[in-house]
């Protein structure tokens, strides 16, 4: 894929830098990374799959095979008689092409 036709050129670079919020580092995330060659990111609520793919390819210089998105709903919480709700968020499971890898320990 040449630089002129890369997915990152379809979107504004400023937008792509705001799409990925943080990697999800948990026991489940490391299990998924080892077994399915996927990386999990916390993403902006309005992010689309093509934007997430372009952002990962731009920031980490890897090739993305597919993106799956899930919305995590906020939990209901109570403090005495006051009831509230935590904010929901969106996460993306990014499947990398074979041989590709993102190592967050080296990136930092």
Contact 54, 48 (CB under 8 A): no
Range of the domain at 82: 3-99
106 falls within a domain:
no
53-103 residue pLDDT tens: 999 999 999 999 999 999 999 999 999 999 999 999 999 999 999 888 887
Residue 104 lies in a domain: no
Q: Does any domain span residue 41?
A: yes
pLDDT for 90? 97
The total domain count for the chain is: 1
Give the Cα separation of 19 and 33 in Å (integer). 20
* 105 falls within a domain: no
Is 45 within the bounds of a domain? Answer: yes
Query: What is the DSSP code string of 38-102?
Result: EEEEEE-TT--HHHHHHHHHHHH---EEEEEEEEEPPPEEEETTEEEEPPPEEEEEEEEPTT---
20: in domain: yes
CATH code (residue 9): 3.30.70.330
16-45 tens-digit pLDDT = 999 999 999 999 998 988 888 899 999 999
**pTM for this prediction:** 0.81
pLDDT of amino acid 53: 94
């Amino acid at each position: 894929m040449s630089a002129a036709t890369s997915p990152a050129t379809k979107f504004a670079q400023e937008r792509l830098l705001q799409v990925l919020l943080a990697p999800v580092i948990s026991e489940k995330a490391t299990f998924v990374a080892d077994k399915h060659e996927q990386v999990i990111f916390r993403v902006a609520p309005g992010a689309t799959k093509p934007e997430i793919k372009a952002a990962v390819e731009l920031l980490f210089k890897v090739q993305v095979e597919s993106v799956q998105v899930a919305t995590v709903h906020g939990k209901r919480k109570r403090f005495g008689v006051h009831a509230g709700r935590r904010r929901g968020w969106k996460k993306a499971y990014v499947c990398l092409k074979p041989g590709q890898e993102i190592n967050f320990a080296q990136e930092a």
